[in-house]
């Protein structure tokens, strides 16, 4: 299938009940991993309604929870549970941090869609848990996969890998990915979930994610509000008036 074709499959929005449940499971997971989250990780909608301009940095940068199935309707196979701890902005001079920092609760076998960034340079770190598997490809001139080998830094060691080759990161190990590098990563099946940390340059999830199947992907898909919000996702704070 080409990058511009769309399937005829009807994709259902993610249910709010599922988003709520996955955030609560992530809270328990981070606690088990002894990875403390900031207080705003636990704020309810009623808590947010009491917060004033002192919390604008959280709102403006969309910090906090991010649960997405990328619009594919198959969260357990293609999704992410992310908590954005800090970020900067390329458009707003009030937020001049040149870096971003995220924590992810990787479920076994749950892959990110294959994508690259034009601006962001990132380290993916296995902080604790099972193993992370990573596959990489150079982005060709027509945005297709290049068949050229890659030279990457794995835990500080210069490493040559073939396109699509699996790289295994055990707890404590990391990989650096340059811009224009297609990548996909997930928690290795049978080894347990992973607390993955991403340290990067500024992260702009609205304009700097380029998916190999772009026509089928949505970084922030619609939600079926089948129950009240327990935790407001970072991307929803301003949209929903919090």
Asked if residue 7 is part of any domain, the answer here is no
Encode pLDDT of 109-151 as tens digits.
999 999 999 999 999 999 999 999 999 999 998 889 999 999 9
Classify residue 2: in a domain, yes or no.
no
- Examine residue 224 and state whether it is found in any structural domain, yes or no: yes
d(CA 235, CA 233): 6
Count structural domains, the chain.
1
Q: Is the pLDDT of residue 195 over 90?
A: yes
Residue 3 in domain: no
As a whole number, the mean pLDDT across the chain is 93
For residue 8, pLDDT over 80 is answered with no
228: domain CATH number is: 2.60.120.10
Indicate the pTM of the whole model.
0.93
Residue 126 counted as domain residue: yes
Q: Which two tokens stand for residue 6?
A: 């769309």
- Establish if 62 belongs to a structural domain: yes
User: Which DSSP state fits 36?
Assistant: P
Q: CA-CA distance, 27 to 147, in Å (whole number)?
A: 40
The domain of 173 spans 14-236
Cβ(101)–Cβ(199) below 8 Å: yes
Q: Kindly state whether residue 139 falls inside one of the protein's structural domains.
A: yes
- Closest to 193 (Cα-Cα) out of 142, 118, 132: 132
Segment 47-63 shows an average pLDDT of: 97
User: What phi and psi, each to the nearest 5 degrees, are found at residue 124?
Assistant: -100, 125
Residue 63 included in any domain: yes
């Amino acid at each position: 299938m080409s990058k511009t074709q769309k399937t005829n499959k009807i994709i259902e929005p993610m249910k709010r009940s599922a988003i709520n449940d996955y955030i609560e499971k992530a809270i328990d997971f981070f606690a088990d991993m002894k990875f403390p989250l900031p207080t705003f990780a636990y704020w309810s909608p009623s808590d947010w309604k009491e917060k004033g301009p002192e919390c604008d940095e959280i709102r403006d940068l969309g910090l906090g929870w991010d649960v997405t199935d990328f619009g594919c309707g198959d969260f357990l196979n293609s999704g992410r549970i992310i908590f954005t701890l800090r970020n900067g902005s390329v458009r707003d001079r009030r937020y001049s941090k040149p870096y971003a920092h995220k924590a992810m609760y990787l479920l076994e076998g749950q892959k990110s869609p294959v994508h690259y960034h034009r601006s962001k340079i990132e380290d993916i770190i296995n902080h604790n848990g099972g193993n992370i598997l990573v596959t990489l490809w150079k982005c060709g001139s027509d945005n297709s996969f290049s068949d050229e080998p890659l030279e990457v830094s794995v835990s500080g060691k210069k490493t040559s890998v073939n396109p699509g080759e699996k790289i295994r990161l055990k707890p404590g190990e990391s990989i650096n990915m340059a811009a224009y590098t297609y990548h996909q990563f997930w928690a290795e099946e049978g080894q347990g979930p992973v607390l993955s940390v991403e340290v990067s340059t500024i992260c702009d999830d609205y304009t700097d994610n380029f998916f190999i199947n772009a026509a089928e992907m949505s970084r922030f898909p619609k939600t079926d509000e089948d129950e009240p919000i327990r935790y407001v996702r970072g991307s929803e704070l301003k949209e929903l008036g919090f």
